[in-house]
Structure 1
Amino acid sequence: MKAVVCLSPGSLTLADLSLPPAPPPGWALLSVSHVGICGTDYHIFEGKHPFLTYPRVMGHEVSATITAVGEGVDLEIGRPVIVNPYLACGRCIACRQGKPNCCLAIEVLGVHRDGAMCEQILVPAGNLYPADGLSLRDAAAVEFLAIGAHAVRRSAAGHGKRALVIGAGPIGLGTALFAKIAGQDVVLLDIDRERLDFAEQGLGLTVIDGSSADSAETLRIRTRGENFDVVFDATGNSASIMAAFAHVAHGGTLVMVSVVKDDITFSDPEFHKREMTLTGSRNAAKADFDQVIASIRGGLIPIAKLLTHRTTLAESPRDIPHWSRHKSGLIKAVIEVQGHG
């Protein structure tokens, strides 16, 4: 089968790999339809991912159809599905507490093991969710949106709460959209004017240009000097994360959606006097996938506006390096593996 392989940082190739074996008990063999290209994939290509060995088949935002099933799997052949790419052990303390998204032995497709930038892939049946009512193209966007939905759920901030989302990349945009769906009063902060214009004009979000000299004063006025009930940082930038503490209201919450390799420091007196809550948000859970699927079906997510670029498996070794350097107009690119709509 054809697969896009990242041989080493900066080196992508279209290779011929062996077809997967027949699915073992509890697993299903999938014919991959579409794969979203994630920031993680760009980091892998650029050699910036800390937990990865090469060569690697990338791809964890996946829609597919079922080709074959192993013993004990009650799924019909040909069914369109969405893949939850977080393969959990089912036994550790996180799994026992219903949090397989932060399993101690988690294996993420396309990161810890080969992913779906290929024609066929084996996946545990429990990680497959019906894509009924969604096109296979839209179904490939569910995973990245679930990251934002999970962050909003982790915030536990209810209707009417003031929310600041820092970072207008795909994850930040998804977070802002689901915060808005939750009834929060959402402001999106970024320094990229093009991304802010897209968020404001294309998605109807309230935005503030963080590169402006008076952005801090604008945020202060927006909240009458009280700051935000919940702040989501989705920048992947340590300086931004540390600066985000100052935007949290007394009694408020900071949700760290992005992850960085650096240590994060903050003022302990400021943290305590505000009685802040600092919350990590990792990956997503089935409940988040379910919410995203329902939201797309219900017309709450302008999915066509988010999926800005397309490519094919054969063209990906050319397009991924280009998009890693030239992101103007790019929100989310999708690989059409089987050419379905």
Structure 2
Amino acid sequence: MKALVCRKPGELVFEDRSAPGRPEAGWALINISHVGICGTDYHIFEGKHPYLAYPRIMGHELSGTVAAVGEGVAVELGERVVVNPYFACGKCIACRHDKPNCCVSIEVLGVHRDGGMCEELLVPAGNLYPATGLSLFEAAAVEFLAIGAHAVRRSKLAAGVRTLVIGAGPIGLGTALFARIAGQAVTIMDTSRERLDFAEGLGFPVVDGASVSPDDLVRQRTDGDCFDLVFDATGSKASIEAAFAYVAHGGALIMVSVVKDEISFSDPEFHKREMMLVGSRNALRVDFDHVMEAMRDGAVPVDKLITHQTTLQDSPHDISRWAYQKSGLIKAMIAF
């Protein structure tokens, strides 16, 4: 089969790989249809991912059709599916508490093991969710949207609260969309005027984080109270540390993005607010199902979010270009 392989940072090549073969018990063989290109994939290409061994087949935002199944698998041949790319051990403390998204020994397709930028892929049947009522194009967008949906569910605050989402990339926009679906009054902050214009096109009020005093803008938007919920989806240490000041008394900061650096904050300010600091990692089946339901209801403008498309054949050139040329780019998709 054909596979797109990142042999080392900056080098993407096509390779002929052996076909996966027949699935064993509990597994299924998927014909890959569409792959969303994630910030993780760009980081792998650029050599910025801390937990990766090269060479690697990237790709974890996947849709496809079932080509073969192993013993004991009830999924029907030809069924359209969304792939959950998080492989959990099923035994650790997180798994025992029904939190496989933060499994102690988690393996993610396209990161810890070869992913879906190839023609066929073997996947545990439990990681396949029927894409009922969705096109395969739409189905490949479910995983990245589930990240935001999971973060919103982790926030645990009621509808009607004032919410700030920092970062108008794919994850931030997904978080904002699902916060709005949850009934929250959502504002988006970014330092890019282009990204802010895109967010406004989706109906969100915005705050320009590149302004002289974003703190003042935040207080103006909230009558001096700050926001009940603040989600950071920037992947920036400076942004995360600044976000503490945007949280209202009794509110919460949800860290959707992750950085390698240590984060520091003022403990007196943290305690004065009695604020919550919440980590959010990956997503669960309930989040995937919620995203698919919202997409079927027309609440998610997938066609607007997928701004760029390419083919498997053209993807080495396009991924190399998009890693550095971000103008107009929100989410790119590979169609097989």
Q: Normalised by the size of structure 2, how large is the TM-score?
A: 0.99
How far has the Cα of 1:215 moved from its partner? 2.8
1:308/1:13 Cα in 2 relative to 1: closer, same or farther (>3 Å)?
same
In the alignment, residue 268 of structure 1 is paired with which amino acid? D
Deviations 1:133-158 (A, max 9, x none): 00000100000000000000000121
Match of 1:270 in 2: 269
Match of 1:149 in 2: 149
Q: Give yes or no for contact 2:215–2:245 (8 Å, CA) kept in 1.
A: no
User: Alignment RMSD, CA only?
Assistant: 0.7
Give the Cα separation in 2 of the matches to 1:95 and 1:108. 15
Match of 1:187 in 2: 187
Match of 1:167 in 2: 167
In the alignment, residue 323 of structure 2 is paired with which amino acid? S
Match of 2:253 in 1: 254
Match of 1:204 in 2: 203
Deviations 1:90-145 (A, max 9, x none): 11110110100000110100000000000000000000000110000010000000
Give the Cα separation in 2 of the matches to 1:128 and 1:157. 30
1:140 aligns with 2:140: yes
Segments of 5+ residues of structure 2 without an aligned counterpart are none
Give the Cα separation in 2 of the matches to 1:250 and 1:105. 36
Q: Normalised by the size of structure 1, how large is the TM-score?
A: 0.98
In the alignment, residue 181 of structure 2 is paired with which amino acid? I
How far has the Cα of 1:21 moved from its partner? 2.1
Match of 2:279 in 1: 280
Match of 1:289 in 2: 288
Match of 1:74 in 2: 74
Give the Cα separation in 1 of the matches to 2:155 and 2:317. 39
Match of 1:217 in 2: 216
Query: Aligned to 2:244, what secondary structure does the other structure show?
Result: helix
In the alignment, residue 51 of structure 2 is paired with which amino acid? F
Give the Cα separation in 2 of the matches to 1:17 and 1:335. 19
Deviations 1:223-258 (A, max 9, x none): 111111110000000010011001111111000000
1:131 aligns with 2:144: no
Match of 1:31 in 2: 31
Give the Cα separation in 2 of the matches to 1:114 and 1:45. 14
Give the Cα separation in 1 of the matches to 2:211 and 2:321. 29
How far has the Cα of 1:15 moved from its partner? 1.1
Give the Cα separation in 2 of the matches to 1:226 and 1:309. 39
Match of 1:303 in 2: 302
Give the Cα separation in 2 of the matches to 1:104 and 1:16. 33
How far has the Cα of 1:221 moved from its partner? 1.2
Give the Cα separation in 2 of the matches to 1:229 and 1:45. 37
In the alignment, residue 154 of structure 2 is paired with which amino acid? R
Give the Cα separation in 2 of the matches to 1:235 and 1:100. 24
Instruction: Find runs of 4+ consecutive structure 1 residues off by over 6 angstroms.
Output: none
How far has the Cα of 1:332 moved from its partner? 0.7
**Any residues of structure 2 matched to 1:6-155 within 5 Å, and which?**
6-155=6-155
